[in-house]
C-alpha cells in the first residue's frame, strides 16, 4: 500500500457543473497552436514509420522511413531523423471513439488532426488500442534498438489521451497494461477527453464530467494540460466468473472466455459445483455491481441499441435512463412480491478478504438490499459519491479506512428500492455500507430465480443461474497499477 507521502498526487472526485467546464479549460491562458505542436508533434519520419507499422501490422515496417532509405519522404533533415532529429517535449497520441456520448468524435478528430498531425490521432473504428500497443509502440521500440535516439526518447515520454466514455478509457487501459505483462515498460500514462454519458473516470482524475460547449478552444488547453499534468495511479481489478458448462452467456466486450479457471480453495460452497465448468475473465477500473441497477442498465442498453435515435447525447441518455428505470419495478414493486424482484439475499452469499488479512470472511447480505456495488473510484453514476465522505470516528468504528483509487481496496455498498437509490444519487444520504475488501467472492445460486444481472464499468449482462449448481464470481486486485495523467 502506498505511503502517505504520495497522497498529494491522489485526485479526489468532483461532481459540480463548474468542475465539468474547468476540467477542459485553463482560464486566462492563451495556448498558441504552433507552440502546442512543438510540444506534441513527433518528427515526420517517426509518425510515418508508426503509421506504416500499424497499417501493415508489422513493427519493422517503418524501417524504410529511416535516413538513407530510398523510400524516405522528402522533408528537412531534422525531420528525417539521424543526429539532428529531436523528440518533442511530450509526444502524444489520441484515441477517439466516434460513438461515445453525444457523437462529437468526428468533429473532434478533425480538430485534433490539425493540432497534432493525422498520424497521431486514431479513430477506434480504424485502429484498435492493441494494434497501437503491438505495432505502433513496437515500431518505436524497434527503431530504438537500431540506435535511433529520437525514437527511443519518444517511446520513453509518450502520453495517451482517450476521447470517449468510461468503457473506452477502460479498453485502452486494458490494452496498455499488456506492456507490463510483456516487460515492455514504461507504460504510457493516460488522460481523458470526456465524451461519454457518465465519465466517472474522467471526473475522478480532474478532466471534468462533460464535453465543453466551447470545445474548439478548450481542446488546445486540454492537450496542454495533458503535457504538464502529474502522474497518478489507478488500481485495476480482475474478475473471474465460473459457471456450469453449457451456460449460454452473451458476455460484454470486457469479459473474455478464460482458458484456466483457478479460484481460491477452502471456501464452503452452499450449492454444488459441476464437474465441467466454463469461466470468463475481465478487468474493471471503476465498479462491479449485481442486482437491480444492472438489470435496469441491461434493459436500457438493449433499448438504445434497438432505438439508436434515443442516444442523442448525455442529457437525453440520462432522461431516457431515468424514465426506463421507473418501468422496471425498482420503485413501485415491494421486495417480497415477485421472486424476480426480491432482495439479493435470496440468491447471494458474499465472502471478502479485508485489509491486511489473508483469510476469507463471510459478510451478511442485508435483506432489504436489491443492488450491491463494489466501487474503486469516488465517482459512480455520473459523478455521485454513494460511499460518502465518512468521518474519522465512523471509519474507526466500522474498521474502514479513507477510500482512494490506489489503496488496493474496494468499497462495497448496497442500494435498496429505487427511492433509496434516488436519495443516494442526489447525495442526500449515503448508501448502505457493507464492507471494504481487498478481494471478494460471490456465490450466486438459482432456486426460483432464472437470471441475475451484473455489470462492470457500464457494461451489463444477463447471468443465467442454475437451480442445482452455484455460479462463483471472484474479484482480486491486479498486481500492477495503471498510470493516469491528473487534469487538476
Phi, psi for 65 (deg, rounded to 5): -90, -5
Residue-level pLDDT at 15: 37
In order of their start, the domains of the chain are: 4-229 (no CATH), 237-485 (2.60.200)
Low pLDDT (below 70) residues in the chain: 1-29, 67-84, 101-103, 213, 266, 300-342, 418-429, 447-448
Helix (H) or strand (E) run with residue 40 in it: helix 33-40
In this structure, what C-alpha cell is assigned to residue 328? 422496471
Residue-level pLDDT at 154: 97
Distance of alpha carbon 257 from alpha carbon 444, whole angstroms: 19
The answer to whether the CB of 229 falls within 8 A of the CB of 485 is: yes
Q: In what order do the strands lie in the sheet with 471-477?
A: 255-257, 277-284, 237-244, 471-477, 439-444, 348-353, 361-363
Q: How far, in Å, are 159, 305, 426 from residue 190 at the CA level?
A: 6, 29, 29
**Residues forming beta bridges with residue 452, ordered by sequence position:** 463
pLDDT per residue over 269-298, tens digit each? 777 777 888 999 999 999 999 988 888 888
Residue-level pLDDT at 423: 64
In this structure, what C-alpha cell is assigned to residue 322? 431515468
The residue behind cell 422496471 is 328
**Residues forming beta bridges with residue 290, ordered by sequence position:** 372, 454
Residue-level pLDDT at 425: 65
Residue-level pLDDT at 295: 85
The residue behind cell 447480505 is 365
Distance of alpha carbon 411 from alpha carbon 290, whole angstroms: 14
Distance of alpha carbon 202 from alpha carbon 226, whole angstroms: 13
Q: How many residues does the chain have?
A: 488
Query: Which residues, 6+ apart, have CB-to-CB distance to 250 below 8 Å?
Result: 461, 462
| β-strands 190-194, 159-164 pairing | parallel
Q: Please give the full DSSP string across 400-428, using - where no structure is assigned.
A: -----TTSS-EEEEEE-SHHHHHHHHTTS
| β-strands 231-234, 190-194 pairing | unpaired
Rounded to two decimals, the pTM is: 0.80
pLDDT per residue over 426-447, tens digit each? 666 678 899 999 999 999 987 6
Query: Which residues, 6+ apart, have CB-to-CB distance to 18 below 8 Å?
Result: none
Residue-level pLDDT at 79: 46
| Signed CA dihedral, 100, 427, 232, 236: sign only | negative
Amino acid at each position: 500500500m502506498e505511503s502517505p507521502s504520495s497522497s498529494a498526487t491522489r485526485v479526489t472526485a468532483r461532481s459540480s457543473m463548474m468542475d465539468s467546464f474547468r476540467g477542459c479549460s485553463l482560464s486566462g491562458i492563451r495556448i498558441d497552436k504552433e507552440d502546442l505542436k512543438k510540444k506534441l508533434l513527433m518528427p515526420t519520419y517517426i509518425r510515418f514509420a508508426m503509421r506504416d507499422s500499424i497499417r501493415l501490422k508489422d513493427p519493422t515496417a517503418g524501417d524504410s522511413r529511416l535516413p538513407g532509405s530510398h523510400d524516405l519522404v522528402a522533408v528537412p533533415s531534422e525531420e528525417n531523423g539521424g543526429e539532428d532529429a529531436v523528440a518533442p517535449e511530450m509526444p502524444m497520441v489520441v484515441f477517439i471513439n466516434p460513438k461515445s456520448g453525444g457523437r462529437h468524435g468526428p468533429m473532434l478528430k478533425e480538430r485534433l488532426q490539425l493540432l497534432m498531425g493525422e498520424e497521431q490521432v486514431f479513430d477506434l473504428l480504424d485502429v484498435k488500442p492493441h494494434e497501437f500497443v503491438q505495432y505502433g509502440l513496437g515500431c518505436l521500440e524497434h527503431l530504438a534498438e537500431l540506435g535511433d535516439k529520437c525514437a527511443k526518447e519518444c517511446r520513453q515520454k509518450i502520453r495517451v489521451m482517450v476521447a470517449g466514455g468510461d468503457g473506452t478509457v477502460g479498453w485502452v487501459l486494458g490494452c496498455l497494461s499488456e506492456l507490463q505483462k510483456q516487460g515492455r515498460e514504461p507504460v504510457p500514462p493516460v488522460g481523458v477527453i470526456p465524451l461519454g454519458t457518465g465519465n466517472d473516470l474522467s471526473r475522478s482524475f480532474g478532466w471534468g464530467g462533460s464535453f465543453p460547449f466551447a470545445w474548439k478552444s478548450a481542446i488546445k488547453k486540454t492537450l496542454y494540460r495533458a503535457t504538464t499534468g502529474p502522474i497518478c495511479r489507478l488500481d485495476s481489478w480482475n474478475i473471474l466468473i465460473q459457471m456450469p458448462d453449457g451456460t449460454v452467456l452473451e458476455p460484454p466486450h470486457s469479459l473474455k472466455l478464460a482458458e484456466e479457471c483457478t479460484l481460491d480453495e477452502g471456501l464452503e460452497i452452499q450449492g454444488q459445483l459441476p464437474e465441467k465448468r466454463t469461466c470468463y475473465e475481465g478487468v474493471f477500473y471503476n465498479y462491479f455491481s449485481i442486482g437491480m441497477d444492472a438489470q435496469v442498465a441491461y434493459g436500457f442498453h438493449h433499448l438504445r441499441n434497438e432505438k439508436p435515435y434515443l442516444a442523442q447525447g448525455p442529457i437525453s441518455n440520462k432522461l431516457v435512463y431515468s424514465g426506463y428505470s421507473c418501468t422496471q419495478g425498482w420503485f413501485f414493486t415491494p421486495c417480497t412480491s415477485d421472486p424476480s424482484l426480491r432482495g439479493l439475499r435470496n440468491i447471494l452469499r458474499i465472502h471478502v478478504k479485508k485489509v491486511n488479512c489473508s483469510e476469507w470472511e463471510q459478510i451478511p447480505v442485508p435483506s432489504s438490499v436489491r443492488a450491491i456495488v463494489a466501487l474503486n473510484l469516488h465517482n459512480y453514476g455520473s459523478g455521485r459519491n454513494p460511499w460518502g465522505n465518512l468521518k474519522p470516528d465512523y471509519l474507526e468504528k466500522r474498521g474502514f479506512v479513507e477510500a482512494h483509487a490506489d489503496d488496493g481496496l474496494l468499497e462495497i455498498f448496497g442500494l435498496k428500492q429505487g427511492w433509496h437509490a434516488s436519495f443516494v444519487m442526489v447525495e442526500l444520504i449515503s448508501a448502505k455500507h457493507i464492507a471494504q475488501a481487498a478481494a471478494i467472492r460471490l456465490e450466486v445460486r438459482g432456486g426460483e430465480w432464472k437470471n441475475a444481472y451484473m455489470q462492470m464499468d457500464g457494461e451489463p449482462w444477463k447471468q443465467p443461474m442454475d437451480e442445482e449448481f452455484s455460479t462463483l464470481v471472484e474479484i482480486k486486485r491486479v498486481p500492477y497499477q495503471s498510470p493516469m495523467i491528473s487534469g487538476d
